[in-house]
Structure 1
Amino acid sequence: MAHFITFLLVLSLSLTFSLLPETASAQLRQNYYAKTCPNVESIVRNAVTQKFRQTFVTVPATIRLFFHDCFVQGCDASVIIQSTGSNKAEKDHPDNLSLAGDGFDTVIKAKQAVDAVPSCRNKVSCADILAMATRDVIALSGGPSYAVELGRLDGLSSTAASVNGKLPHPDFNLNQLNSMFAAHGLTQTDMIALSGTSF
Structure 2
Amino acid sequence: MGIKKYRILVLLFSVLLSLLIVETPTAAAQLSQNYYAGICPNVESVVRGVVSQRLQQSFAAGAGTLRLFFHDCFVRGCDASVLIANPNGDDEGHSGADLSLSADAIDLINKAKAAVDGDPQCTNRVSCADILAMAARDVVSLVGGPFYPVELGRLDGKVSTRAIVKYSLPGPTFNLDQLNSLFAANGLTQTDMIALSGR
Q: Which TM-score applies when normalising by structure 2?
A: 0.92
Structure 1 CA distance for aligned equivalents of residues 68 and 161 of structure 2: 16
Q: Does 1:122 align with 2:124?
A: yes
**RMSD of aligned alpha carbons:** 1.6
One-letter amino acid of the counterpart of residue 30, structure 2: Q
CA contact (8 A) 2:26 2:155 kept: no
Q: How many residues align?
A: 194
2:166 to 156, 160, 164: 164
Alignment partner, residue 81 of structure 1: 84
Of 74-83 and 160-169, the range deviating more from structure 2: 160-169
Q: Distance in 1 between matches of 2:183 and 2:47?
A: 29
Gaps of 5+ in 2: none
Between the aligned partners of 2:103 and 2:172, the Cα distance in structure 1 is: 21
Structure 1 stretches (4+) deviating beyond 2 angstroms? 1-6
2:180 aligned partner, one-letter code = N
Q: Which one-letter code corresponds to 1:62 in the other structure? A: T
C-alpha deviations, 1:65-121, integer Å up to 9, x for none?
111111111110001011213x61111112210111111111101101100100000
Alignment-mate amino acid for residue 57 of structure 1: A
Q: Distance in 2 between matches of 1:189 and 1:111?
A: 34
TM-score by length of 1: 0.92
1:14 CA displacement:
1.2
1:77-116 equivalences in 2 (<5 Å) = 77-85=80-88, 88-116=90-118
Query: 1:172 offset after TM fit, Å?
Result: 1.8
Q: What is the correspondence of 1:143-162 to structure 2 with a 5 Å cutoff? A: 143-162=145-164
How far the C-alpha of 1:157 sits from its partner, in A, is: 1.1
Q: Does the residue aligned with 2:97 lie in a helix, a strand or coil?
A: helix
CA deviations 1:24-77 (Å, max 9, x no partner) are x42111110000001111100000101000011111100111111111111100
